[in-house]
Amino acid sequence: MSVPVRIQPDETFVLNVGPQHPATHGVLRVKMEMDGEYIVDAETVIGYIHRMHEKMGELKTYPQFYMNLSRMDYLGAMGYSHGHVLLVEKAAGIEVPERAEYIRAITVELNRISSHLFWFGAFVMDLGGFSPLMYALQDREHILDMLERITGSRLTYSYYRFGGLYNDIDDEFIESARRFIPRMRKSLKKYDRLVTGNIIFQKRLIGNAVLTQETCRKYGASSAVARGSGINYDVRKNEPYSVYPEFDFDVPVYNEGDSLARYKVRMAEIEQSLRIIEQGLDKLPGGPIMPKKAPKIIKPPAGDYYQAVETARGNFGIRLVSDGGKNPYRLKLRSPTYSNMHLFDETCKGMLIMDALAFMGSLDLVIPEIDR
């Protein structure tokens, strides 16, 4: 005798996504209250990879903290290190040779491309297409080769020093970077043909998780999340630092606010980064890469300093409270995906779970960078 299944009309259940889940790109956990396939409410639980960077910032001297920045965001480590060295140089009044700043800009942009490529592969994999990941990582390996040649590391670079760089670039690096630019442009066209026009891809992303400008402002979103919603905000343009005012590049902005807009922004950013690298290699001045009298012990005067940079994931801010000692008194790391991820809880309400996961992929999450 069979028993009829009784369905309660307004019954919900809690679905636990993560901390180990292939769609969360790391150890992120989202508790979702579901009504069938629809999300009624969601609560993001983070902190599964909290590695005490801010505590270590207080316990370590300034140069000892180099390595933490690259382990915070391992996909776009250069941008984070750039923020750190710029901040301490500003606070301690260290002059940086022009050549060093140009090399910094070139390496940051290379790293930004490698980060976007990885995101592109992982994002399309989230949506069910596996092969773009293979293409993207193949191109990414070329960047890693170049960067490894000068920094000695594949992911976790500690390349920048207060005042300059650890190592100068050589002709082979310049040549391989020049060769890489047309190759990447060709690949971008290939990706476009392979993915962007795909009807499944488009159907899943158009109109998915539309973010308004007001939501972005209330949560402090940046990077493609803000630029996909029509906010023309890029720290490199809005708050010029380093040698970025010397370069001619555009900030791609799309007004739709959906996941496809965020995808388009990132893909367009790769082209802009290539332009910066091209110009940087053309303009690269000679000279030293470290100042003649770089201070051995860094002791910024007491005070409160702030520096923001545009990393691959957005507006990264770093605040230093110094008491004049060898260690920072307080070092606050404002990570961009922390704010971008915070949007998720509110935005995903009423969405289908598969759409929510597509939205999560479009945020470009790196979990250790959220948890710090």
Partner 1 sequence: MIIEQTRNALQTLFPEADPGIDLQVQQEDSETTAESSDKQEDTVRTNGVIERDYQVHGYHIDAQVDPEQLLEAVGIVDSLGYFIESITGVDWIKENQLEVVYDFSRYDFDLCRVVIRTRVDRDAPVVPSITSIYAGANWHERETHDFFGIKFEGHPHLIPLLLPEDADFHPLLKDFKA
Partner 2 sequence: MGKTNIPTIEEGVPSSIVQFASLDKLLNVGRANSLWPLTFGIACCAIEMMATGCARFDMSRFGAEVFRPSPRQSDVMIVAGTITKKMMPGIKTLYDQMPEPKWVIALGNCAISGGPFAFEGQYSIILGADQFLPVDIYIPGCPPRPEALLQGIIELEHKLSGWQRWNDPQSKEVPSL
CB nearer partner 2, residue 131 or residue 202: 131
Category of 163 on φ-ψ map: left (φ > 0), alpha (ψ -120 to 50) or beta: left
Contact of residue 166 among partner 1, partner 2, none (CB under 5-8 Å per partner type): none
Contact of residue 251 among partner 1, partner 2, none (CB under 5-8 Å per partner type): none
Burial class (CB in 10 A: 0-12, 13-18, 19+), 75: buried
Residue type, position 115, single letter: S
Contact of residue 216 among partner 2, partner 1, none (CB under 5-8 Å per partner type): partner 1
HSE-CB of 347 using CA atoms within 13 angstroms: 30
Which of 40, 41, 63, 74 contacts partner 2 by CB under 8 A?
A: 74
Q: What are phi and psi of 110, to 5 degrees?
A: -60, -45
- Does 27 bind partner 2 (CB under 8 A)? Our answer is yes
Please report how close the Cβ of residue 59 comes to partner 1 at its closest, in angstroms: 11
| DSSP code string of 98-132 | HHHHHHHHHHHHHHHHHHHHHHHHHHHHHTT--HH
Contact of residue 19 among partner 2, partner 1, none (CB under 5-8 Å per partner type): partner 2
> Which candidate, 155, 152, 109, 118, places its Cα nearest to that of 137?
118
Question: Which run of H or E residues covers position 31?
Answer: strand 29-35
Binding site for partner 1 (CB under 8 A): 46-47, 50, 52, 54-55, 58, 87, 90, 93, 213, 216-221, 226, 231-233, 237-239, 301-308, 315, 317, 319, 321, 324, 329-330, 332, 334, 338-339, 342-343, 346, 371-372
CB nearer partner 1, residue 339 or residue 362: 339
Contact of residue 321 among partner 1, partner 2, none (CB under 5-8 Å per partner type): partner 1
Give the strands of the sheet with 29-35, arranged side by side: 13-17, 29-35, 38-45
Distance CA 266, CA 251 (A): 10
Binding site for partner 2 (CB under 8 A): 19-22, 25-27, 47-52, 55-56, 59, 67-68, 71, 74-75, 118, 121, 133-135, 137-138, 140-141, 154-156, 367-368
